[in-house]
Amino acid sequence: MENSAASASAPLDTYGRSPLAAVDSRVHEVLLKQVRQERTTLKLIASENFASSAVLEATGSIFTNKYAEGYPGARYYTGNEIVDELENLAIERLKALFGCEHANVQPYSGSPANQAIYRALLSPGDKVMGLPLPEGGHLTHGWSVNFSGSDYQRVPYGLHENTQQIDYDRLRDTANRERPKLIWVGATAYPRVFDYAAMAEIALEVNSYLAADIAHISGLIVAGGHPNPVGHCDVVGSTSHKSIRGPRGGFILSRNEDRHQALHHPKNQHNLAKRIDRAVFPLLQGGPHINIIAGLAVALEEASHPALRVYGQQIVKNAKALAQALLERGYELVTGGTDNHMLILDLRDRPLSGKAYAERLAKAGIITNFNMVPGDPRDPAVTSGIRLGTPAVTSKGMRQGEMVQIAAFIDLICREPADPDVHASVRKDVADFCAAFDVPGITDR
């Protein structure tokens, strides 16, 4: 890994020679600011990562110019034979990586993918079970301010009071009582492994669809660091970035046939794959973003290599090391630790809110997001927790030893949240610390 001062300046030189500098100096200046920030800060946001130069090249390629409404072999515009080849390539790579029967790569992001799942499986007013947002679930799993909470009946399932982990026994009781038509398994702030087999048993008992949201953990699944929901779930939705290191888009995996066809759908609507496709287009979206599909295809090729397995497993090792280092410094963690790529600091016993600590950490170059914790007494706009993730720092090449140092940086800020001199000192130390590591997509340009 090259860490010289010459290589550190290369990205700025490369961007400086780009057409953007001549065409739009203001945007170019903003871009350089972002480059400098990425190079000198610790990106600990669990939902962010670094795409490779190859992914960025494909995403910013000539495919940006293509309009390809429809699906391969059935477009509403001519001249899309090459686009068909590209989309089919992305589909086949997804199917091979996850072992699924059907894949759709057209969703614009994770939330649109989940919305398509709702429209393919349910009717407005149907009951949906999901983990509530304050306990780690996602907006699209039935939260009141989201379409999923306003268009469908919400049936939340919760966490065990002591372990703060999913209480599968209570979930089974709730499902048998409420008989939901769809059960979500997945989260945006849950640091433990999901038991897909147990969820599948429950869904089968109540004749419910089971949908997995793997937006955060898709790369961990491919790497073998987390169980694969395919085979247990009827349908799986995801973003295409985060731990799988693709562009900002989405995808859906599903079975071909509907196991619930006799109960839930009339004749000629038994093909689940077709219903998924029709929900994406033409029901919810128009033309797909072909440049994003190109970037996804590249990311999936990268994910098929042994290096992704090493990377995904290192993400988990780093998260566990960061969790242990923080525990040793006296911090409370939701569920007491982590099994995946994230951990949630529970700061209810601290004088400031999660938002206040996150803002002070950001001033010191430690980029996180404030997050609710189970039983949070504070408003969602301020919260009592902070979510930390290791995918991006792992992409930089950091390992367990660096996680101990990161924990020390976090501790310095949280112990002296009102001291600007401490913030400035840590900011300098963080920048020096980051200088020893390359940034994928920046340093190699």
Same domain, residue pair 331 and 292: no
Q: In what order do the strands lie in the sheet with 127-130?
A: 102-104, 250-254, 235-239, 209-213, 182-186, 127-130, 153-156
Same domain, residue pair 207 and 266: yes
State residue 276's pLDDT score. 97
Same domain, residue pair 294 and 353: no
Asked whether residue 2 is assigned to any structural domain, the reply reads no
CATH code (residue 128): 3.40.640.10
State residue 259's pLDDT score. 81
Same domain, residue pair 351 and 293: no
Per-residue exposure over 87-120, b if at least 16 CB sit within 10 Å of its own CB, e if not: bebbbebbbebbebebbbbbbbbbbbbbbbbbbb
Asked whether residue 212 is assigned to any structural domain, the reply reads yes
CA 131 to chain centre: 16
What is the C-alpha separation between 429 and 420, in angstroms, rounded?
14
Same domain, residue pair 290 and 146: yes
Same domain, residue pair 231 and 319: no
Pairing assessment for the beta strands 250-254 and 235-239 based on DSSP bridges: antiparallel
State residue 5's pLDDT score. 34
State residue 153's pLDDT score. 96
Same domain, residue pair 427 and 286: no
Same domain, residue pair 253 and 365: no
Nearest to 271, CA basis, from 255, 253, 285, 283: 255
Same domain, residue pair 287 and 353: no
Same domain, residue pair 366 and 428: yes
Asked whether residue 29 is assigned to any structural domain, the reply reads no
CATH code (residue 360): 3.90.1150.10
**Structure-token pair, residue 98:** 């996850």
Asked whether residue 37 is assigned to any structural domain, the reply reads no
Positions marked active-site = 67, 69, 213, 239, 242, 248
Same domain, residue pair 368 and 428: yes
What is the C-alpha separation between 218 and 220, in angstroms, rounded?
5
Q: Are 183 and 209 in contact (CB under 8 A)?
A: yes
pTM of the entire predicted model: 0.93
* Residue that is last in its domain, among 303, 329, 362: 303
What is the C-alpha separation between 185 and 109, in angstroms, rounded?
18
State residue 264's pLDDT score. 52
State residue 260's pLDDT score. 77
Asked whether residue 253 is assigned to any structural domain, the reply reads yes
Predicted confidence pLDDT, tens digits, the chain (445 residues): 333 333 333 344 455 568 999 999 999 999 999 999 999 999 999 999 999 999 999 999 999 999 999 999 999 999 999 999 999 999 999 999 999 999 999 999 999 999 999 999 999 999 999 999 989 999 999 999 999 999 999 999 989 999 999 999 999 999 999 999 999 999 999 999 999 999 999 999 999 999 999 999 999 999 999 999 999 999 999 999 999 999 999 999 999 999 876 555 554 456 999 999 999 999 999 999 999 999 999 999 999 999 999 999 999 999 999 999 999 999 999 999 999 999 999 999 999 999 999 999 999 999 999 999 999 999 999 999 999 999 999 999 999 999 999 999 999 999 999 999 999 999 999 999 999 999 999 975 5
Could you give the number of structural domains in the chain? Answer: 2
Mean pLDDT (the chain) is 93
Asked whether residue 46 is assigned to any structural domain, the reply reads no
Asked whether residue 327 is assigned to any structural domain, the reply reads yes
Same domain, residue pair 111 and 248: yes
> Domain of 346?
315-445
Asked whether residue 185 is assigned to any structural domain, the reply reads yes
Known binding residues for (6S)-5,6,7,8-tetrahydrofolate: 133, 137-139
